[in-house]
Chain A
Amino acid sequence: MQQSFEEIYTQYSPQVFRVCMGYINDPAQARDLTQETFIAVWQNLSSFRNESKLSTWILRIATNNCLRALEKSKRMVTTDLPFDIPLPHEETQEEKLAFLYKCIAELEETERIIISLLLEDLPQAEIATIIGLTEGNTRVKIHRIKEKLAVKFRDHGQFE
């Protein structure tokens, strides 16, 4: 079991870390949440019954962990963007990523989870399974989140 757990950890930990980053916007806390997620995965691996994909199951644990990180979320960065942001000439990849995290941090908790899963390239049906919504509701939510992000990015001078 340990060998298979190691393989699972190596394969899925970057994905879980990115989803946690989308929620918490703090690398140290995202690492803690990733660790907590895999503690839960390890504890429950024997009860995993292949009823869903392993990635769906792991991300479901991760998203539940994120949503339950109540104390940590109080410290989360949710500051509004400055009103008059100068247009960047050539943003580095890190700056672009930081801006993306900042935009996601301004969404509601559950919206943060949904967009993180979408950016992980998960199909909408799988996202619906993870968060426990119907596919129709998930589609509507995703559409609204995309609109919100589009406005933020347009205001920032991107995606004209």
Chain B
Amino acid sequence: MDNLNDLKKIWLSADTSGLPDTATIMRAICKYRSQKLIKKAALILAAIFLTAVMISVVFLYKSVMISTRLGEACIIGAGLILVFTNIGSIGRLYNLKSLSNKEFIAYLEQVKINRAKYYRKTQVIGLSLVSLGLLLYIYEGVRLYLWLLLASYVFVLLYILVMWLVVRPRVYKRQAKKLDATIKEMKRLADQF
């Protein structure tokens, strides 16, 4: 095109006065960082809090049955898994630098592998521990009344079944679908080069 210089003149005439000033951008940066941090930190704190509650229950509530102690141990174990998994994920988030598109695709592929591994191993262990822990833990409290025992176990079993058979696969499927779509789109863009 012979008129590239004319196009440059038009291009450079774009009004950039509406851009935020440096103070605004600094506030946005602080907000962005804190939002990301707060979200993850809230999850970790919630997991730590629940684990701490369970640990305090171990000392405050003098259970007489071994099943209760085992239940407590299982739930504490699951809580610790949740805490450490999320601490690891914060580290990965902050190690993500400004990558090129090819490196970004590789990063997404790695996220996909990690998620599948989490779904097949870590989450199975965590959820199994919580499920087993709940079933064991409630026995001592409800064993004296048959109707209470039955109602409690039906409720807990239903909750566990819904978590295993509905929530868990659905959440994974939704996340995997979103990630696949992103990877596909990134590859399509990479192919244009």
B56 within 8 A of A: no
Contact B26 A2 (CB under 8 A): yes
Beta-carbon contacts under 8 Å, A86-127 to B: 93, 96-97, 100, 108-111, 118-121
Complex Cα distance, B8 from A38, in Å, reads 24
- Determine whether B171 belongs to the interface, using a CB cutoff of 8 Å to chain A: no
Kindly state whether residue A70 has any CB partner on chain B within 8 Å.
yes
Q: How far is the CB of B29 from chain A (nearest CB, A)?
A: 5
Q: Which residues of A contact B (CB under 8 A)?
A: 2, 5-6, 9-10, 13-14, 17-18, 21-22, 27, 31, 34-35, 38-44, 47, 60-61, 64, 67-68, 70, 93, 96-97, 100, 108-111, 118-121, 131-133, 137, 146-147, 149-150, 153, 158-159
CA A40 – CA B32 in complex, angstroms?
10
A68/B18 in contact, CB under 8 A: no
Q: List 7 A-B contacts (CB under 8 A).
A: A17-B16, A39-B28, A96-B10, A97-B10, A111-B192, A119-B12, A132-B102
Q: Determine whether the beta carbon of B185 is less than 8 Å from that of A159.
A: no
Nearest 6 pairs between A and B by C-beta?
Answer: A14-B16, A119-B11, A110-B192, A146-B1, A6-B22, A159-B3
Distance from B33 Cβ to chain A, minimum over Cβ atoms (Å):
8
Q: Is B153 an interface residue (CB 8 A)?
A: no
> Chain B residue with minimal CB distance to A159?
B3
A18 to B19, CA, bound (A): 11
In the bound complex, residues from chain B placing their C-beta under 8 Å from that of A132 are 100-102, 193
Instruction: List chain A residues, Cβ under 8 A from B10.
Output: 93, 96-97, 100
With A39-B29, A47-B97, A64-B99 as contacts: A109 and B16 at CB distance below 8 Å: no
A122 to chain B, nearest CB (A): 11
Measured CB to CB, the closest approach of chain A to B15, in angstroms, equals 8
CA distance A14 to B19 in the complex (A): 8
Q: A111-B192, A147-B1, A153-B3 are in contact. Are A21 and B25 (CB under 8 A)?
A: no
A153 to B1, CA, bound (A): 10
- Given the complex of chains A and B, what is the CA–CA distance between A150 and B6 in angstroms? 12
- Residues from chain B with a CB closer than 8 A to the CB of A108 are 192
Given contacts A9-B22, A150-B1, contact A97 B98 (CB under 8 A): no
The answer to whether B189 and A110 touch across the interface, beta carbons within 8 angstroms, is: yes
Do A61 and B13 touch across chains, with their CB atoms under 8 A apart?
no
Chain B residues with CB under 8 A of A118: 4
B7 on interface, CB distance cutoff 8 Å: yes
| A10 to chain B: closest residue by CB | B22
Nearest to B16 among chain A residues (CB) is A14
B28 with A119: CB separation less than 8 A: no
With A and B bound together, what is the CA distance between A70 and B104 in angstroms? 14
CA distance A132 to B16 in the complex (A): 28
A97-B11 contact, Cβ under 8 Å, with A40-B98, A68-B104, A132-B100: yes
Q: Which of B1, B12, B18, B32 is within 8 Å of A31, CB to CB?
A: B18
Closest to A98 in B: B10
Q: How far apart sit A10 and B21, CA to CA, in the bound complex (Å)?
A: 8
- Bound Cα distance A10, B17 (Å): 11
Tell me the nearest residue of chain B to A2, going by C-beta. B26
Contacts of A40 in B (CB 8 A): 98
- Not counting A17-B14, A96-B13, a sample of 20 additional A-B residue pairs whose C-beta atoms are within 8 angstroms of each other reads A5-B26, A6-B22, A13-B16, A18-B14, A18-B16, A35-B28, A38-B29, A39-B28, A39-B29, A42-B29, A44-B98, A61-B98, A64-B100, A64-B104, A68-B101, A100-B11, A108-B192, A119-B7, A132-B193, A159-B1
